[in-house]
Each structure stands twice: as C-alpha cells, then as structure tokens.
Amino acid sequence: MIIGVPKEIKASEYRVALTPAGAGMLKAAGHEVLIESGAGEGSSFMDDAYAAEGAAIAATASEVWAKAEMIMKVKEPLPEEFGYFREGLLLFTYLHLAAAPELTKALVEKDVSGVAYETIQMPNGSLPLLTPMSEVAGRMAVQVGSQFLEAFYGGRGILLGGVPGVPPAEVIILGGGIVGTNAARIALGMGASVVILERSADRMRYIDEVFNGRIRTLMSNPYNIACAVKKADLLIGAVLIPGARAPHLVTEEMVKTMKKGAVIVDVAVDQGGTIATIDRVTTHKSPVYEKHGVLHYAVANMPGAVPRTSTLALTNVTMPYALELANKGLEDAVRANEPLRKGINTYKGRVTHPQVAQAVNMPYISMDQLLESVAFDKLS
C-alpha cells in the first residue's frame, strides 16, 4: 500500500501523523511511504530523517493526496482539502464528524473510507487513540487556565495555588474521564482546590481512591453544576460521548453567575463544546474571547501547541492500527478487529457510526451490513 502523510494546515497545528520511526516500520512491512516536504518540521522531524527510513519526499500536498491509497493525518481535513477526496481513498485521522456535517457529506459523496482515531473503542469502552491526546489536553487545560487567570490577560488576577494565608483558586472540572483526571492531577499539584462533577458513581469512587480524598467529587446534575460553576475561578469542560456531539451542560445563565475574570477552558470544543457560551472555535494565536465578563478558551487542537510530545504520544498508539490497515486492507482488517471496526465513520458512501449519523442528520447503516454486502458481491 502507498501511505501518504500531508502537512497539517489547520491554524497553529504542528503535529504530524507519522514519525520517521513509523515510516521505517511501514517500509519494513513492504509498503511505500510518501511524506509532504516539511510535514514533520513542527515536531522537529526533518525530511532527511524520513528519507533515511526509506520514505519518499513529495514537494506538494496534491502529490501526496493523488498518489496515496491511505492518507494519515492528525486533524480533520479542512474545506480546501475536500477537493483531494476520491473514491476508494482510505483516510485515517481524527475526524470529529459529529460537529462537522459538511466534512461528513464530502466524505460520503466522494466515497472516502473515513477511519476516525477518536471512535476506535475497546470492549471495556476505552478509546486508545484518543487517550494520549486527552492526557495532553487535560494537563494543558490547567496550564492555560492558570495563565489566563493572570490580570495581564484580563483574568481575576489570582494564583492557582494561593499562598499561606490566601486561599487557592477554585477549579471546577466537568467530567471525570481521562481529560478530567489529568486536569485534576495538575491542578492539585499546583495547589488548587479541585472539584470534579461526574455522573458515574463508580468513577467517583475511583477518583476518590486514586487521589486519596484530596479531590472533591459531586454527582453531575443541573443543580450541582449551577452551584459549582458560580464558585469557579477556572472551569474546565472535559465531557466526551464517543462519536457524538458533546452535551451542553453549562447554560448561558450559569455563565452569567460566574465571577468577573473567571476562565473557561472547554476541551470538548472539537465535539461542539459543553458550555453554551462557547459559540466559536479559537486558535492558539488568538485563544480567548470575553463574554459576560468571563474569558473563554476554545482552541480545538490544544495538543498542537506541544507537538513533539503530542506526536510521539499519538503515533505510539496509531501505528499498530496503521500497520494492520496497510497489511490487510480495510475490509479484512476490520473483520478481524472489532475496536478498529468501530473507528469506521464513513464507508461505501454511507455513514457507519450511529452517533455521527444522528448528529449530522444522515442515514445510518452498520459496518457489519456493508461488509456482508461486499462479501456477497465478491462471491457473485
């Protein structure tokens, strides 16, 4: 198979979908690798490092897209890349289609097989290709939140951990999953007072045990959320429903009750966001806006700000799946790998993930049904 890696074009996105080591692994398995020149520079991987592993260097993105049978990316394709779509192309990347109906339609219309990192799901419900970026984003949420709490940026002018005789900041985290627990770990380490709102009693017991009772937990319901939001100096949205739009848990009326100069960091913005007042996506170059006296941080590619760490963490988990797709082809790979099968969002001109189909209001057909039809066509 020919695997292509174009340079990411999303604003301030410096990650790359394949490291030189990954290129070498694909070459060793008998595949061809085509890297757009400069694709890895943001993560400090130069063209010559890829070439040394046997990858070919392409001068333009159009060359990569045209020649590749499988495209590996980090972020979802932008409208200027839709023209590269063609029938039979395999796209392996973060897609977040629930918040991207136009991208979904383009993939379906051009019959692109879209395999989304974020919906590959293990039998226990874990999301192995989303986990490392959730870890990065959770830890970053506290870093950026503490920065924008500084008066210079328009924040409340408070130190997250306080000092002796001065209380610490109140950090409220919506969701006790990977993002939430990583955010809590950093906030607690900086000396903040931390509350996690979570709807799973078992998860709250886990958090209480892991953090030895140093983090308060509350059942996530509208009343508790409203009370907690009002007290927050830093509010972190960390809720994810695989494949679906993030639910709006914090209303505009709740935001109006927040302290002047408080900060909201919504990690779920790439899935639509959990805060009603997150009405736009921001970038690393212009990350915040003010509404109702509260600073809103709504960057959809937070890990892109630490690309070296993020690229290494991401490719550690994507490479086994990339090799399986390249070695076996899509159909045979997903027949043998149920978690990978759940990653397929579009195939044969149809939406194959139920939550995505519901979110974008398009017909759904299961991947199992489509695979049966493909097998029947081959037999006939």
Residues noted as catalytic = 96, 270
Residue 268 is assigned to a ligand binding site: yes
Which amino acid would we find at residue 327? N
- Alpha-carbon gap, residue 130 to 101, rounded angstroms: 21
Residue 224 is assigned to a ligand binding site: no
Residue 171 is assigned to a ligand binding site: no
Residue 302 is assigned to a ligand binding site: yes
Residue 356 is assigned to a ligand binding site: no
Residue 240 is assigned to a ligand binding site: yes
Give the side-chain half-sphere CA count within 13 A for 29: 20
Length of the chain as a residue count = 380
Which amino acid would we find at residue 123? P
How far does the chain reach from its first CA to its final CA, in angstroms?
Answer: 26
Q: Which of 51, 66, 271 is nearest to 177 (CA)?
A: 271
Are the CB atoms for 216 and 207 separated by under 8 Å? no
- Both structure tokens of 209: 């045990």
Residue 269 is assigned to a ligand binding site: yes
Are the CB atoms for 200 and 211 separated by under 8 Å? no
Residue 75 is assigned to a ligand binding site: yes
Residue 198 is assigned to a ligand binding site: no
Are the CB atoms for 293 and 263 separated by under 8 Å? no
Residue 193 is assigned to a ligand binding site: no
Number of Cβ within a 10 Å radius of residue 152: 8
Residue 280 is assigned to a ligand binding site: yes
Return binding residues for NAD(+).
Answer: 134, 203, 220, 239-240, 267-270, 280, 299-302
Return binding residues for substrate.
Answer: 15, 75
Return binding residues.
Answer: 15, 75, 134, 203, 220, 239-240, 267-270, 280, 299-302, 324
